[in-house]
Amino acid sequence: MSSPAADEGGVEELRPRVAATVLIAMLVLATVAFSAILGDKIAPDSPFLQRLGTGDTPPSLAHLAGTDLFGRDVLSRVIYGARTALVGPVIVAAGSFAIATVLGLVSGYFGGLVDTAIMRWVDVMLALPGPLLAVVVVGIVGGGYWTAVAVLVVLFSAPDTRIVRSAVLEQRPLPYIEAARTLGLSKTRILFVHVLPNVAPVILAYVILDFAFALVNLAGLSFLGLGIEPGAPDWGRMLFENRNILFSNPAALLLPAGMIIVTAISINLIGDWLLERFAR
């Protein structure tokens, strides 16, 4: 008979351990979220206040990350930039999740012509160069942050649809689906009450990865002048505006670039951890 100590040790082994890198990633994401929510309260200065007489200056006690060409406080603009860095990617991830969930469930469960039509649309979208298509569409429409967000929602929903469909195909032959059909449950109820909860963890992990990709894509569009409007505190836009003052104030360029990289890596680490945990 096993001892209580041995039983407790077995329980400890069964509990999922969170790696230190994932904990650090969660801390980084929490810090960015805190800045996005309370940016106006924790920023040391206004991100819009221009000091044309001061211009770009290196870090100092008055401005911990220095100022840009217009004399605006770089640290305050980075803190405020967390808002657009999170809001847009969250909408992209949520929108692509909603579209892909509906299309993937219908495609995987019903099959036939419905499945063929949806998957041909997915094939067409995957064949297109996503970033280039986003640049073209946003450029033709006239730019704008929300236009870029809408384009990325459509682009990201295609690969997500294939992922949801694959997960549904694994569930369809299982006994609980046949039991639900035998009980006379409607197809809608089977899909959204029984199938969806079983595939949701995998979908959630990929949605978090979509968030990271959306963050990088939106920052890239802003750098090209196709995302956020000029003058707005946005990490991608700051890279474009401060590219010429790399040597006079490196922090004005390196700080927003570092935040994009660190945030994207943190999201990817969390997404990979969730995928490994729920895929067991």
pLDDT along the chain (280 residues), means of 10: 48 58 93 91 89 87 90 93 91 92 91 92 86 80 80 90 91 87 86 87 83 89 81 89 89 93 92 75
Alpha carbon distance, N-terminus to C-terminus of the chain: 29
- Residue 13: the pLDDT is 44
Q: Under DSSP, is residue 73 helix (H, G, I), strand (E, B) or coil?
A: strand
Give tens-digit pLDDT for 66-100. Answer: 899 899 999 999 999 999 889 999 999 999 999 99
The candidate with the shortest Cα–Cα distance to 97, out of 204, 212, 217, is: 204
Q: What CA–CA distances, in Å, run from 200 to 59, 179, 189?
A: 46, 21, 15
| Cα–Cα–Cα angle for 89, 119, 173, rounded to 5 degrees | 100
- Residue 11: the pLDDT is 43
How many residues are recorded in the chain? 280
Structure tokens of 130? 């996503």
Structure tokens of 227? 């995302």
Q: Under DSSP, is residue 67 helix (H, G, I), strand (E, B) or coil?
A: strand
Give tens-digit pLDDT for 200-215. Answer: 888 887 888 889 889 9
Quote the CA–CA distance of 19 and 226 in Å, as a whole number. 38
Torsion angle defined by CA atoms of residues 232, 233, 235 and 236, in that order, rounded to the nearest 10 degrees: 10
* Displacement of CA 277 from its chain's centroid (Å): 19
Structure tokens of 135? 């640049």
Stated pTM of the model: 0.81
Class at the top of the CATH hierarchy for domain 55-278: mainly alpha
Q: Are 78 and 43 in contact (CB under 8 A)?
A: no
- Residue 143: the pLDDT is 64
